[in-house]
Structure formats: C-alpha cells, structure tokens
Structure 1
Amino acid sequence: MSSKVPVIEQCAVSERVQQGVMVEDLASYLARNRNLVFPHRHNFYHLLLFTKGGGKHTIDFEVFDIVPWQIYFMSPGQIHTWSFEGEMDGYVVNFDKGFFTTFLLRPDYIGCFSFFSGLVRDEVFTVKEAEREVIVDTFKRLQTYIRDVDFTRISLLYIFHLLEKQRDISNPLQGDMYNHTLLRNLLNLIELNYRSLRLPKDYAALLYITPNHLNALCQEVLGSSAGEVIRNRVLLEAKRLLVIKDYAISEIAYELNFNDNSYFTKFFKKGEGVTPEEFRKKHT
C-alpha cells in the first residue's frame, strides 16, 4: 500500500540536532526545506513561532491564517501543510518524543500543557505582547547554547510555562487540579481506546467518576459532550487514514471497529458532511 502522506523524520529536516533537539530561525529552516510544502507528518514534536510573514497552515485538516506572533504546536502523527506568503521569519523547535523522558520525574509531564493536548483548538494561538520579548530572547539563547542539552530542556520548559500562564485567564480549570487531571486522563484514555470504547460510561468507569460528572466536565472545558469528544477522535483517525494510504473504505471501517461499511459511511457523513470518498477526493 503506497503512502500518500509521508512521515518526516527529524534528521531529514533539522540541522545541528543535539541529542534530539533543534532550534533554528524560521528563514533558514525554510531555505533548507523549501520543498516541504506537501501534506506530511512528523515523528517528533514541532513548534513554530511566526514573527513575520503571512499565508496559511493546516493541522489535522483545520486551516489557520498566519499572523505575526502566532505560535503553533504539533505532536507526532498529526498531518499538516503550509502555504507561506511574503518574507517569513520566526523560530522553529523540533524535539524527539523522548527528549524530556529521562530529565523529568514524570515522563508524561509535557502532556500537562494545554498545547500538547492533541486538540487542534489548543495548539494554535497568539503570544501576548507582554511575553514576546522574553520568549524571543530565550529562543536566541537556545540557539547559542544548543549543545548544553540540560539548559535547552530547562529553557523550553520555561517557555512552555510562560505560554501556559498567559492562557490561564480563559482557562476554566485554573486552580482546579483535580478536574484538570481528570480531563488529561480522559484524553489519554480516549487516545488509547477510541477504537474499542465508544461510550462515555466506559471512560467514566475507568476514571472512577459518574457519566454525568464526565459529561459536565467536557461541556464546561471543551464545549462538547463526552460522547462528541470520543466520536471526534474516531472521525479524526478516519480522516487521517483516508489520506495517509490507499486504504479501501472497508479496510478503514474494519480498522476503526465498525460493523460494516454503510454504518461507517453514515457515521463519517454525519460528522463531516461528506462521504469518505468525497473527503478523500477533496484532500488528495
């Protein structure tokens, strides 16, 4: 089966990689990777800060207009592409999945940051003016001291905390660590089990809470019911499979644990507004 959306490895796009991390100015990165304009996935974490330029970029089929001081985060496996306009500048950071694992007591610690949630709505935002100078200064220091891996880890965590703090104003879970942990655990459980577990009550049982509590939490923070959150993850995987390889619709239905093609097609059309075949034609 031929792959339609290739997986890009860090060694193919990064320069001066030091023990799994690269920090580079955007202009140089684009000059070296000028042909990287087709839809692709990464096997590493990727963040990009725009300080100049325009155009559009897409993450998991959601399109964003580029504006100065916009930043986006991507986790391994997400599909994206870009179409830049004018003179581009900013900073790019690529780091491997295990970059923080041995450094932190909690291997999954970066998952606590909202922009590593795997939800596209949390991954793209504008850096507030008060934080811009210190973040750019930190990126410059990172480029200078990139060989000092512990300094790089600490500096990136510092940037992550600054960005998370600036978003807390609109975060309904600010100060509520119990529900914050519940939501993170829910998203992690959905990521592991969305093929086989489709009902909110299944996840509520795994979290030792009531389905009503789970649904109220999702409505408050995500603006969707728990059932919608689960269905949206299944739908996202269906869209990825439709464009990643030449899978038959029946193969995708089987992969996602649907009983038959017609049920899968009805599910997909209800969520996306088009049939799987129409979606594939549009995006390939």
Structure 2
Amino acid sequence: MNPVFPTLGLDHFQENERNEVRLLDHLTHGKNTITVPHKHDFFLFFLVEESSGTHTIDFVDYPVANQQIHILLPGQVHHWQLADDTKGYQLMMSQALVQTFTDYLQFSPLLATPIIELDEKAYPLFRQEFDQLSAELLLALPDWTLIGLRCRIIARLISRELERNQAFPSKASPILVNYLQLLEENYKIEKLVTFYADRLHITPNYLTILCKKHLNLSAGELIHNRLLLEAKRLLQITDRSVKEISYELGFEDLAYFSNFFKKHTGISPRTFREQL
C-alpha cells in the first residue's frame, strides 16, 4: 500500500499572532522540521545561500546548490536531503496571502519552475529582503502591514525571475490569467474548453489562440496536464484504488479514466503505480 503523506499547516513550524507568514533560518531551525515526504497547505519559498544535496518535489529530484530559490506549492509532496551546514531562509506564506498578489498565478502548478538559479545581481536583492523580513518578525511588536509588503516584494522578485527564465510570459493576457484561476478551481469537475470560454465570455478558439501564443499549449492541453499531474500525485501518495481516484478527478467511468491516463502517459494507472 502506498503511504498517505501528512499535510502540514503553518502552525506546525512556528507560532505567532498571525497565521499568514512564517520565516525560518534554516541553519538553526531547518533540521528540526520533518524530513520524510509530506505536503503543505501553504506556499514555501526556500532561499538557499549555501548548500548541496537533493530536493525532491512531486517525486522529481532537483540538485541543490548555492544561491537558489526553491518554489513549493500547496499540495506538492516534497522532502530533501541537504548538507548539515545548509544556510538559507524558509519563507512560508498562507494561500490567502499569496492570492492577494496580482501575479500570484505565476505560481500555478502548471507553470512554476521549482528551482531558480540566482545570479550575482539577483541574489543580494533576495537576501536583503529576507533579512529585513526576519528582523521585522523578531520584533516584540512586528508591523504586519510592513511584513505583508515585504512578502509582496519577495513574491514580485520571484515573479521577475520566472519571467526571465521564460516560465511565465511577462505580459500575459488578463484573460489567460483568469483562465488559469478558473482551471485551478474547476479542473476536477469541468474538462471542456467551452465551459471556461463561456465563463470568460470568449470563444473556445480565441482561448486556445491565447494559450498557444503565451504558453505554447492549447487550452485543452492545459486541462489535461492539470488532471494528469493530480492523478500522478494521488497514485503515488495515497492508497486509494484507481477507481476511487478516477471519481476524485471527476471521471464517472473507470475505463474512460484509464484510457485517458494511458493515452497521455503511455501506461495504465495501475502500471504507473507499480513502477514507483
């Protein structure tokens, strides 16, 4: 049976008067957190100053090196094996907070680059903001308005790096941004492009044109990719049957789900699970 990995909330890591932001100095607190595979219900932005090792996100291994930023999204399964003297900051933000940022959908599971290499110009900017945020949080009476603004700045710096890495277009259409939001909210129950196009008051053809222009994928491919990502997670981290997973993802017919999965991966859901 596959393990059911725990989902951790912000209160697991640190207590403060607001359940929106946590910041851990990895060298002093990082090794006290759970290192077995687990999930979070918040966003984690890990600024690495010095380290080596491996960070596994959704069962993909990424090498850890100096001057990186790691992006972990709510619901992703992760664990890491890091050098004992790893230096850096773990910044945790609630979903509610991140969703107030105008460009938060750059952190979509379909688009975000998990690991960003920071150059000699970018890293000091990140380090300065993390240091300032840390100093504010350590005050007896921290200014939560200022903390929110610093979090917004850090998120914007990350967004800019994503744009530079072409993980998200710098001038994406507002319609496309709204589509990604609708998709994240409805992909389990709505699988037709026409549903999203109707909600956006455009034609399915125009929606596909926008998706291909900015993301090199059709609107339908984005729906399929999001479903496949969730299907793989559920097959990997839960002991639910394939039938239960198919219902969880809105497939009323097990055979249809199995055919859909095999069409896009080349193997059946059961074979995928057996190969883990």
Q: Percent identity?
A: 32
Distance in 2 between residues matched to 1:135 and 1:247, nearest whole Å = 41
Aligned residues: 270
Cα RMSD, aligned residues only: 2.5
| 1:104 aligned residue | none
Distance in 2 between residues matched to 1:84 and 1:175, nearest whole Å = 36
Distance in 2 between residues matched to 1:90 and 1:275, nearest whole Å = 41
The reply to whether residue 152 of structure 1 matches residue 147 of structure 2 is yes
The 3 A distance-change label for structure 1 pair 134 and 225 is same
How is 1:1-284 mapped onto 2 (pairs within 5 angstroms)? 4-12=4-12, 14-15=13-14, 17-20=16-19, 21-33=21-33, 36-85=34-83, 87-99=85-97, 108-110=99-101, 112-113=103-104, 115-119=106-110, 121-146=112-137, 147-169=142-164, 173-175=169-171, 179=173, 181-283=174-276
208-217 or 112-121: bigger deviation: 112-121
Preserved contact between residue 113 and residue 162 of structure 2 (Cα < 8 Å):
no
Preserved contact between residue 60 and residue 236 of structure 1 (Cα < 8 Å):
no
The letter of the residue matching 1:164 is S
The letter of the residue matching 2:91 is V
Shift of 1:71: 1.0
For structure 1, the 5+ residue unaligned runs are 101-107
The 3 A distance-change label for structure 1 pair 195 and 162 is closer
3-state SS, counterpart of residue 95 of structure 1: strand
Distance in 2 between residues matched to 1:80 and 1:220, nearest whole Å = 32
Distance in 1 between residues matched to 2:187 and 2:116, nearest whole Å = 27
Instruction: Name the TM-score, length of structure 2 as normaliser.
Output: 0.86
The letter of the residue matching 2:160 is K
Instruction: Name the TM-score, length of structure 1 as normaliser.
Output: 0.84
3-state SS, counterpart of residue 98 of structure 1: helix
3-state SS, counterpart of residue 86 of structure 2: strand
216-225 or 185-194: bigger deviation: 216-225
Distance in 1 between residues matched to 2:105 and 2:195, nearest whole Å = 24
For structure 2, the 5+ residue unaligned runs are none
The letter of the residue matching 1:233 is R
Distance in 1 between residues matched to 2:203 and 2:165, nearest whole Å = 26
Preserved contact between residue 24 and residue 30 of structure 2 (Cα < 8 Å):
no
